[in-house]
Copies of this chain bind each other. A is one copy, B any other.
Amino acid sequence: MERRSKLCQDDGMRKAPTRVDRRTDALSKPRIVTRAIAILDDGGIEALTFRSLAASLSTGQGALFYHVTNKAELLALAATDVLSDAMNGTDGTAGTTGRVSTTMIAVFDAMTAHPWLGAQLSSAPWQPAVLHLFDRIGNELDALGVPDGHLFDAASVLVHHVLGIASQFRATGELTSVNSDRPAFIHSATDGAVHPFLDKIGPQLVHHDDRDQFTAGVDIIIAGITARARLAHTPSPPNTHADK
This chain's copy number in the assembly = 2
Are the C-beta atoms of A168 and B125 separated by less than 8 Å? yes
Q: Is the interface of A mostly helix, strand, loop or mixed?
A: helix
Q: Per-residue 0/1 for A185-219: is the Cβ within 8 Å of any B Cβ (1 yes, 0 no)? A: 11001110101111011001100100001001101
CA distance A165 to B122 in the complex (A): 9
Q: Is A160 an interface residue (CB 8 A)?
A: yes
In the complex, the chain B residue whose C-beta lies closest to that of A165 is B160
**Interface residue? A162 (CB, 8 A):** yes
**B residues near A185, Cβ cutoff 8 Å:** 126
Residues of chain B contacted by A191 (CB below 8 angstroms):
1-2, 128
Which residues of A are at the interface with B, using a C-beta cutoff of 8 A?
1-2, 122-128, 131-132, 134-139, 142, 151-157, 159-168, 170-171, 174-175, 178, 185-186, 189-191, 193, 195-198, 200-201, 204-205, 208, 213, 216-217, 219-225, 227-228
Shortest beta-carbon distance from A59 to chain B in Å: 26
Q: Are B132 and A197 in contact (CB under 8 A)?
A: no
Contact A134 B216 (CB under 8 A): no
* CB pair B225 A167 closer than 8 Å: no
With A128-B189, A152-B208 already in contact, 6 other A-B pairs whose C-beta atoms are closer than 8 Å? A132-B193, A135-B198, A136-B197, A151-B197, A157-B220, A160-B165
* CB-based contact B216/A153 at 8 Å: yes
